[in-house]
Structure 1
Amino acid sequence: MIMVAATATATAAGCGTKAEPPAASKSTPASPTAPPSPTLPTSPTASTGGTKSPQDTKSPQQQSSLSPGWEITVYYTAVEDYHDGTPTPVTGCPTLNCKNGTDDLGSYPADFVEAVQDEGTGRTSSGRYLNWSYDIGYWLDSIPRTSDGQSLSPFVSAAADPDVLPHGTRFTIAGCGTEDDGSTPPSAVCAALKDASWEITDEFTPGLGGSQHIDAYIGPETGENFTDSDWYITLNNARISIG
């Protein structure tokens, strides 16, 4: 993502406590082949009670793979229809295989454009995607992309610094830790994040990651003022299980 944050991406956000917007963590690939456009969920789906968390089901040998002390932020796809700021012209690349373009890409609400730069990707009212990367600028696309050129997958795609967690690393969230104010994260949000099987397919804009920072992609925003919702969250002292 570039998320510079987010959110490219991956990089990243707050319920209970309103955390600072995550940086996007998207790093655009040189010349990827765009896969078919995915069907994005209308909202994150939390699991209900009765499902054991990863730490409850792992053997003593597997428990040793648990890694504590992580900061986990979220990033998302901004949706133009939920923004109504002042129309702002955007220039960039009309296609993916281009860098630092100067073509007219249209005008979009100012708060939507800002969210695209924070999160790395946004769905326009026309159904196309306005993406952004620190090394590419803005470009129009048919999908929201990861740093390897594939489609961002909600509750799968995640970003980290590549020298911390290499591309392709799989992990689960074993413990949600706390929010910035020390409170317990909302149970539905924590359950959904823990039930997911994550994979590092994205990376932070240089300087926005860190030694124990992960950005987790949760899909398109689901309404106005999404950053005030429970889903825009930062987990502190979270635990992950790698592998």
Structure 2
Amino acid sequence: MALTGCTATEPEPGWEVTVYYTAVESFHDGAPVAVTGCPTIECEGGDDPLGSYPEDFVQAVEDEGTGRITSGEHAGDYLNWSYDTGYWLDTEPRNSHGDPLRPFVSAAADPDVLPEGTRLRIADCGDAEDVTAEVCEELQAADWIIEDEFTPGLGGEHHIDVYLGEEDQADFTETDWYTTLVNARIEFP
């Protein structure tokens, strides 16, 4: 799908907007899980021991792509994950190109729909009943840039993810911030 008819004065309707974030170990619990992978970003499919972390933190890292470690010898580092690399330790949360994720700037899309570098704004939060006015206003105020891409096979046309930064409390997925905009309107300035 190519972008057609998209201007700053004519937002394109029908978009699904989901959020992603950096998990923080201290907000998670569960049985410790030993994680293996790469001790640095410059590796694929490694099997070095990277530490043991709460089960739901490890799952959140796999779901969201990154998490900040708050305990043990790797405290302050990030545990990152991607489908083609596995787990690795890093000094910051990364996008699929290896660049740092930027809160309220970085967005992800299918590269065949929205190529890297595409700038966009959320003009209208759409039909989602669970989106609060505060969350909608902050998502609309941001100038998003496609700097990340979906795992192949996920996402699809008219779907973007926007990066919020680090979770700031336990059960973050139960807060107003963990939301999906349905039939949102996107403008491409």
Taking structure 2 as the reference length, what is the TM-score of the superposition? 0.93
- Provide closer, same or farther for how the CA distance between residues 184 and 135 of structure 1 changes in structure 2, counting only shifts above 3 A: closer
Q: What is the match of residue 120 of structure 2?
A: 171
Kindly provide the amino acid, as one letter, of the partner of residue 222 in structure 1: D
Displaced runs of 4+ in structure 1, greater than 6 A? none
1:127 corresponds, among 57, 67, 76, to 76
CA distance in 2, matches of 1:204, 1:147: 8
Kindly provide the amino acid, as one letter, of the partner of residue 103 in structure 2: P
Taking structure 1 as the reference length, what is the TM-score of the superposition? 0.72
Q: Does the alignment pair 1:73 with 2:18?
A: yes
8 A Cα contact 1:70 1:212, kept in partner: yes
2:156 corresponds, among 210, 213, 216, to 210
Q: Does the alignment pair 1:109 with 2:109?
A: no
SS of the residue 2:178 aligns to = coil
8 A Cα contact 1:178 1:184, kept in partner: no
Displacement after TM superposition at 1:62 (Å): 3.6
| Gaps in structure 2 of 5+ consecutive residues | 1-6
| Gaps in structure 1 of 5+ consecutive residues | 1-60
1:159 corresponds, among 105, 108, 121, to 108
Q: What is the match of residue 40 of structure 1?
A: none
Kindly provide the amino acid, as one letter, of the partner of residue 230 in structure 1: D
The C-alpha deviation readout for 1:119-159, integer Å capped at 9, x for no partner, is 00000010100000000000000000112221100000000
Q: What is the match of residue 183 of structure 2?
A: 237
8 A Cα contact 2:130 2:176, kept in partner: no
CA distance in 2, matches of 1:83, 1:108: 9
Displacement after TM superposition at 1:185 (Å): 1.7
CA distance in 2, matches of 1:199, 1:62: 15
Q: Does the alignment pair 1:93 with 2:38?
A: yes
Aligned-pair identity in percent equals 62
CA distance in 2, matches of 1:129, 1:161: 25
Report the more deviating stretch, 183-192 or 196-205. 183-192
CA distance in 2, matches of 1:148, 1:208: 17
The C-alpha deviation readout for 1:91-127, integer Å capped at 9, x for no partner, is 0000110000000000000000000000000000101
